[in-house]
């Protein structure tokens, strides 16, 4: 991970002949174009304080070395969502020579707004008019020459999934970057708005200190819109009193004339321009209804869409739980049979069979095994499923159907897939929260994911509660966990500053997925998980191993006895396993029996021999609710920052103790003894 996207983009620009930024709305094929151009040999970076990533890579076209910046998919440049903020800053900080604007030919009016904003910034533009094959199938024909004439920028038809038209786009990028002056832009706003922009432009033309070196017209538009960065610049700039007074006067005049704030006025006029341009260049003819359109109606109508959604979500859960668990067990078996002996031999040979070698093996054997046993079965498979849902277009249908329910917890419909995936493994589910637009939503979703029983915690519930106390009590543990998560979501929605955002998205038709881009995207996410999570899991495992092998774990657990024995009513050995279970939750059950045999003798090989059914229920409930495994904590820190990860982890510990203690007293009084 690079320290800041700003520095990374500047470094990229210095190392190439020219730089290109890929911009476009979500799901317009921008990622496919980026993959085709670069082969996914990418690095990623975050802007300070932001979690949305910017990808960049270097490619060659002819004898030119070209840096390609893949901006986050966004409908506009602004501060409404993190994607918009990061896309805006990457354009301004990265100062690309050319922007490739990817437009969806099937929904031109909705896509053009972003292009008009980029033109307002004065950045040279090349338009990739994508999915022209799908537009033709729907009876839509775009006059690319006429669109190029209006925008003052080249417009080239493409089909990104096949790579069609991309060579022409890159050739035009090279030619466009070589021109000393930008093409004349013919777009203009209404007369009174243009008059205000012109006056501000003339006032700013003599100021060389304009942020990012933007043209005077671009700076004038941003000032008139009330852009925070430019408003702050003009407020701090020396000898700028005349400009400030002129801006306030012009803004007031527009409010009096048009009855609305200049920012809203410019937004409205851009949307109007986009609609007028689309109506000018589009030609539509009647055509038969496509299968993709019929599928979209079938999956979004509540009567049919909800059952389909239930089947899809159940399929994701079953795949992650059953197939993922099988892969995890198979991987664990292979690791134990082949990798463990090979790793163990040099440590024992060099250090001997002692506490030091066993401590190191906790990290380099069990730790790597734990990271990969999560990564390969769950992260890899989840991201492939997620890529499949995104490429087919079904993700939008799921978001549309669940939006109302998700809003009760401060989220929107796009949160449903990560929350379901959490039942398989929390790690990919937290990574999946990137589909949410604000940090507030990601914090709520990540907290709910942490409280969702993953397959490892399910193994404890089924392996302990259902066997000793009965399946009804296993269901009760799930029910209590669900109620706690629901209450937490509602509570966080009310406590966290801000409010939930609405779900604004285009209704994309279903598409045929393309395997190679899906596999590349899946591998990119998995590689990132391995690089980020494995060192933390290995380091944490060595620390836990050292505490266990030296006996310090029992010493550290001694102060917890009043809580574990007094409040939760659990034996001390159970408390030790809850600490070690931070490595992986299913280890709690295995270690519990092992420690119990050492504590009570061979007769403790069954849980029921040293714990009552009520204690086992409380134990499983606490194990389910409190802070998840090290891999999950590391990904929480990676996505939300260490401070938020620590707060979420501490919250789950307190919550687990409160719920566990309450459950202990309710069970002891009313039900199990």
For residue 43, the model assigns a pLDDT of 47
Chosen CATH of 5-178 out of 3.30.365.10, 1.10.8.590, 3.40.50.300, 3.40.640.10:
3.40.50.300
193: Cα separation from own chain's centroid: 38
CA distance 568 to 661: 5
CA–CA separation, 39 and 57 (whole Å): 9
Give the count of beta carbons closer than 10 Å to the beta carbon of residue 518.
Answer: 18
d(CA 442, CA 436): 6
**What is the rounded (10 degree) CA torsion for 64, 65, 70, 75?**
-30
Nearest Cα residue to 239 out of 216, 207, 210, 212: 207
Q: Are 416 and 406 in contact (CB under 8 A)?
A: yes
Domain boundaries, the chain: 5-178, 191-284
* Residue found under tokens 């859960």: 317
Instruction: Please give the average pLDDT of every successive group of 10 residues along the chain, which has 673 residues.
Output: 45 71 79 76 46 75 86 77 81 87 88 90 90 83 91 89 86 81 65 91 87 89 88 84 88 88 90 90 74 75 84 77 76 85 89 87 80 72 78 76 80 79 78 80 92 79 75 86 92 82 58 76 73 74 79 74 84 76 69 62 62 86 85 86 91 93 85 53
Q: What pLDDT score does 155 carry?
A: 93
Strand pairing of 140-142 and 282-284?
Answer: antiparallel
Q: What share of the chain is helix, strand, coil (3-state, %, to 5)?
A: 70, 10, 25
CA–CA dist 178, 195 (Å, integer): 32
Residue with tokens 């990271």: 371
Neighbours of 351 (CB within 10 A): 15
Strand partners, 70: 22, 55
pLDDT at residue number 538? 80
Question: CA 409, CA 494: separation in Å to the nearest integer?
Answer: 9
The reply to whether 191-284 shares the fold of 5-178 is no
The residues pairing with 44 across neighbouring beta strands, listed in sequence order, are 55
191-284 belongs to CATH 3.30.450.30? no
Please, are residues 625 and 661 in contact by the beta-carbon 8 Å criterion?
no
| Cα 408–Cα 413–Cα 417 angle in degrees, nearest 5 | 115
> What CA–CA distance (Å, rounded) separates 371 from 585?
13
Taking the C-alpha atoms of residue 216 and residue 204, their distance in angstroms, rounded to an integer, is 6
Which single residue is written with the structure tokens 């009513």? 569
CB neighbours of residue 173 within 10 Å: 27
- How much is the pLDDT for 659? 94
Nearest to 613 by CA among 667, 566, 559, 565: 667
Q: What is the pLDDT of residue 549?
A: 81
Radius of gyration, CA atoms only, the chain: 29
Structure tokens at 16: 């190439």
Q: Indicate left, alpha or beta for 239 from its phi (over 0: left) and psi (-120 to 50: alpha).
A: left
Closest CA to 631 of 663, 563, 583, 570: 583
| Cβ-based neighbours of 32, under 8 Å, separated by 6 or more | 160, 161, 514, 517
Q: Which two tokens stand for residue 421?
A: 């995936």
What is this structure's pTM? 0.66
The angle, 0 to 180 degrees and rounded to 10, between the axes of the packed helices 630-640 and 642-670 is 130
The three-class DSSP label of residue 208 is: coil
Residues 6+ apart with CB under 8 A from 551: none
């Amino acid at each position: 991970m690079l320290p800041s996207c700003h520095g990374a983009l500047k470094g990229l620009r210095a190392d190439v002949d020219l730089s290109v930024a890929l911009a476009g709305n979500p799901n317009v094929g921008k990622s496919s174009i980026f993959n085709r151009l670069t082969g996914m040999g990418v690095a990623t970076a975050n802007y300070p304080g932001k979690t949305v990533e910017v990808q960049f890579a270097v490619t060659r076209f002819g004898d030119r070395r070209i840096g390609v910046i893949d901006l986050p998919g966004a409908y506009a440049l602004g501060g409404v969502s993190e994607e918009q903020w990061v896309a805006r800053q990457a354009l301004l900080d990265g100062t690309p020579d050319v922007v490739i604007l990817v437009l969806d030919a099937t929904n031109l009016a909705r896509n053009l707004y972003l292009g008009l904003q980029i033109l307002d910034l004065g950045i040279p533009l090349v338009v990739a008019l994508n999915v022209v094959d799908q537009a033709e199938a729907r009876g839509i024909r775009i006059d690319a020459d006429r669109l190029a004439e209006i925008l003052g920028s080249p417009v080239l038809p493409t089909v990104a999934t096949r790579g069609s038209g991309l060579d022409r786009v890159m050739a035009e990028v090279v030619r466009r970057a070589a021109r000393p002056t930008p093409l004349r832009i013919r777009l203009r706003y209404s007369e009174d708005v243009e008059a205000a922009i012109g006056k501000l432009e003339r006032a700013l033309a003599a100021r060389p200190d304009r942020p990012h070196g933007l043209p005077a017209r671009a700076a004038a538009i941003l000032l008139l819109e009330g852009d925070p960065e430019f408003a702050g610049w003009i407020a701090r700039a020396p000898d700028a009193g005349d400009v400030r007074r002129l801006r306030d006067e012009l803004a007031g005049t527009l409010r009096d004339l048009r009855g609305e704030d200049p920012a809203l006025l410019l937004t409205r006029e851009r949307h109007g321009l986009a609609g007028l341009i689309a109506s000018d260049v589009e030609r539509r003819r009647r055509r038969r209804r496509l299968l993709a359109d019929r599928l979209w109606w079938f999956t979004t109508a509540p009567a049919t869409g909800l059952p389909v959604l239930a089947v899809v979500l159940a399929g994701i859960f079953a795949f992650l739980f059953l197939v993922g668990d099988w892969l995890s067990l198979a991987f664990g078996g292979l690791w134990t049979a082949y990798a463990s002996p090979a790793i163990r031999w040099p440590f024992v040979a060099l250090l001997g069979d002692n506490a030091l070698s066993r401590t190191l093996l906790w990290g380099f054997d069990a730790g790597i095994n734990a990271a990969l046993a999560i990564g390969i079965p769950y992260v890899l498979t989840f991201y492939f499923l997620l890529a499949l849902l995104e490429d087919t277009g079904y993700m939008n249908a799921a978001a549309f159907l669940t939006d109302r329910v998700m809003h009760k917890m401060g989220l929107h419909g796009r949160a449903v897939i990560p929350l379901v995936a959490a039942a398989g493994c929390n790690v990919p589910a937290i990574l999946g929260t990137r589909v949410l637009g604000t940090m507030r939503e990601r914090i709520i979703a990540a907290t709910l994911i942490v409280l969702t029983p993953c397959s490892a915690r399910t193994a404890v519930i089924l392996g302990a509660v259902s066997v000793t106390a009965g399946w009804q009590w296993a269901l009760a543990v799930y029910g209590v966990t669900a109620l706690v998560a629901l209450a937490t979501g509602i509570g966080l929605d009310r406590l966290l500053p801000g409010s939930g955002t609405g779900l604004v998205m285009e209704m994309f038709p279903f598409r045929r997925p393309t395997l190679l881009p899906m596999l590349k995207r899946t591998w990119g996410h998995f590689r990132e998980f391995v690089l980020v999570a494995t060192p933390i899991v290995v380091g944490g495992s060595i620390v836990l191993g050292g505490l266990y092998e030296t006996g310090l774990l029992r010493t550290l657990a001694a102060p917890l006895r009043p809580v574990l024995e007094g409040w939760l009513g659990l034996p001390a050995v159970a408390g030790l396993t809850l600490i070690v279970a931070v490595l992986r939750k299913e280890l709690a059950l295995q270690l519990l029996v092992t420690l119990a045999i050492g504590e009570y003798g061979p007769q403790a090989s069954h849980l029921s021999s040293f714990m009552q059914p009520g204690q086992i229920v409380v134990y499983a409930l606490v194990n389910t609710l409190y802070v998840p495994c090290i891999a999950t904590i590391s990904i929480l820190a990676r996505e939300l920052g260490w401070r938020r990860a620590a707060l979420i982890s501490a919250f789950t510990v307190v919550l687990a103790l409160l719920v566990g203690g309450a459950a202990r007293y309710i069970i002891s009084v009313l039900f199990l003894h």
